[in-house]
Amino acid sequence: MAADIKKIVSGMTLEEKASLLGGDDFWHTKAVERLGIPRFMMSDGPHGLRKQDDKADHLGINESIKAVCFPAACATTSSFDRDLIYHMGDVIGKECQAENLSVVLGPAVCIKRSPLCGRNFEYMSEDPYLAGEMAASFINGVQKHHIGTSIKHYAANNQESARMSVSAEVSERALREIYLPAFETAVKKSQPKTIMCSYNKINGVYSAENEWLLTKVLRDDWGFEGFVVTDWGAVNDRVKGVAAGLDLEMPGNTAGNDAAVVKAVREGLLPESKVDECVERILRVFYDYAENREEQVFDRAADHEIAARIEEECAVLLENRGILPLNPEKSVLYIGEYAEKPRYQGGGSSHINSFRVDSALSESIKAGRKVDYIKAFPMDRDELIEEDLKKAVETAGNYDAVVVFAGLPDIIESEGYDRKDMLLPASQIRLIGELLQAVPEKLVVVLSNGAPVELPFSGKVSAILEMYLGGEGVGQATDRILFGEVNPSGHLAETWPLKLSDNPSYLNFPGDARKVKYAEDIWVGYRYYDKKEIPVRYAFGHGLSYTAFEISNLRTDRDSFTDGETIKVFADVKNTGSRTGKEVVQLYVAPENASDRPDKELRGFAKTELQPGETKTVEFEIDARALSYFAEDLGDWFAPTGAYKLLAGDSSDRISACCRVQFAAKKMLPLHLDVDTTMGELMTDPRTAPVIQKMMA
Ligand code: BGC
């Protein structure tokens, strides 16, 4: 870095330093003109730029510049493709350079604890390994251009209800195993330049003033080097925040809090060195950007095409009884307004003012398909147009295939509130039911939604294609997948329960305005459904293809290992069908016979393209951490000595290869001896067993 940041800070008055810890306006930091420090601009994010020139707000209400809306994280994570999301980050990084934005606010990685969370469409997964890997790749793509990212919302912001006041009551084990690792992986693999702390409290302490979270875990345990910014308006007490490890308060209008920092330093309540550290961290990020400006053009038309290509890799084929892909020569009836006006993004701060939006209908017409269209229901309401319904039911039989474009209206999924249920609008269920009577063997459902919905018709329709919220190119992607120009390869990044009440958080979501108990602890998503043997609609990792694959021959390069070592794991994957396609090989790990551990946990994934008949070998690497749980009494990760299963498959419920590995622990759990310690414990622990044996003898 050309600028000597320490020198700049040493030349600043306390007032100037404190002023840099709070924003200037909605999107800018403050300037210090005397020292030539300019203002810097940040912007939402993360699946495109929401740059607001004026009339700023953080709810996505006022207009921002025209930008390209990429698929939301619910979709991109389903790609299970690190390179793809890196590429998306790379494109967004270039767009930021073109628009003079130094930080893009994302990615968002809070765990999908309940399907109802209003922002699940923005979040990546119910699985922390998958979310962490994908987030790190995205961040690396963006930050390659010296643009900062702000991974959010740190932490445990798993609902929108009472998000400003609620305290997530959660064990350290669940935090460390489920809610924090996505942030941890991102910090360790990609050093996000900033991290955004959440509005909520964790175990009674606001994230913005939680020293354990912002300093102990983030900086001391993980080695985070960037700055911590509040979510917009998430400051409660700035002085407490700075003491805890908070750097920047956003948005602007912070003069009162800046003055409070000055006063606290003058009164000896806050060391000035803490303020210096914050300013240094903030300036390091912004100067890195300022010193590495790139000549970039925001080529919206080109990026639009990229957004469409990305979505093609994200869509998940949930069901197919042989009807897809559709024959381009045959006649098809599209039903539902989403065919014409797609639902492709969610509401709130991530809302993009899209440059262009492709619909499936216009793209299919453009491609010369023989499609007709009946609206039947509006995109924004739960309502049927009765005469359209009648016409659809009467004419459906004349077509070779009928495709219903179903989904959730905009109003249902947004930042700021949670869904009340997991239902599709009743009008759509009725429409699909009536069409099933008319054309039981040629009905396809295309879904546009940001989170799972109950699907009472899933076993009856001929195919279901989940597009999620696929960005502005979703129409192209839908057309090309339906007609077989693209072979779908997305896999679910979340379990789809049969019904809401099956979800482990059901009895404790969303709590009241003060507290929400994470009573299910580590048993989130497939970890819970697996262990409890609860049938689900679609398992985590599920996704079909127009070809077929076989995963076999799972093996390791060594039979045993210990702390500090790694082993390599290999699996063969063959395309046994007749089309080129991409398979996602998923590697799960679990100890043999441990009732307090999940039956399996994702510890690796690899996406690979295969020609018909082709076989490839994919490779993973695991270490002790992959076998570990977080032992609260040790305050560390711990993998007990013993045998572990390695499982490979293309879904968490379709495991087709298995092998075993032995682990020999070097670490030991602390030994607590008191009057309740049993003889059995003393006789089995290697630290006490010899003494006891001697005594017994
Ligand atoms: C959201 C953040 C967003 C910020 C700025 C907040 O309300 O929670 O995700 O980045 O506003 O728009």
pLDDT, tens digit, 9 for 90 and up, residues 231-255? 999 999 999 999 999 999 999 999 9
Concatenated DSSP letters of 297-317: ---HHHHHHHHHHHHHTT-EE
Atom 3 in ligand 1: residue holding the nearest Cα: 349
Residue range 263-319, pLDDT digits in tens: 999 999 999 999 999 999 999 999 999 999 999 999 999 999 999 999 999 999 999
* C-alpha span between 202 and 199 (Å, rounded): 10
Whole-number CA gyration radius for the chain = 26
The secondary element (H helix, E strand) that includes residue 169 is strand 167-169
Decide: 231 in ligand 1 pocket, CB within 6 A: yes
DSSP class of 499: S
In 3D space, the residue among 174, 68, 2, 49 whose CA is nearest the CA of residue 473 turns out to be 68
Class of domain 307-538: alpha beta
pTM of the predicted model over 0.95 = yes
Decide: 133 in ligand 1 pocket, CB within 6 A: no
Decide: 319 in ligand 1 pocket, CB within 6 A: no
Name the superfamily (CATH) of residues 549-666: Immunoglobulins (2.60.40.10)
CATH dotted code for 5-290: 3.20.20.300
For the cut 80, the answer to whether the pLDDT of residue 61 exceeds it is no
Residue range 470-488, pLDDT digits in tens: 999 999 999 999 999 999 9
Residue range 5-39, pLDDT digits in tens: 999 999 999 999 999 999 999 999 999 999 999 99
Buried b (16+ CB within 10 A) or exposed e, 177-206: bbbbbbbbbbbeebbbbbbbbbbbbbbebb
Q: What is the pLDDT of residue 54?
A: 65
> Beta strands 331-335 and 654-664: pairing type?
unpaired
Q: Which atom of ligand 1 is nearest to the CA of 50?
A: 12
Q: What is the pLDDT of residue 58?
A: 76
Decide: 58 in ligand 1 pocket, CB within 6 A: yes
Residue range 662-679, pLDDT digits in tens: 999 999 999 989 999 999
Q: Where are the domains of the chain?
A: 5-290, 307-538, 549-666, 673-697
Which distant-in-sequence residues (6+ apart) come within 8 Å of 117 by Cβ? 110, 123, 158, 159, 160, 418, 419, 451
Q: Which atom of ligand 1 is nearest to the CA of 108?
A: 9
Mean pLDDT to the nearest integer, 436-456: 98
Distance 58 CA to ligand 1 centre (A): 6
Probe ligand 1: pick from 49, 57, 58, 122, max atoms within 8 Å of CB? Answer: 58
Q: How many CB atoms sit inside 10 A of residue 686's CB?
A: 9
Q: What is the pLDDT of residue 315?
A: 98
Cross-strand pairs, 286: none
Decide: 232 in ligand 1 pocket, CB within 6 A: yes
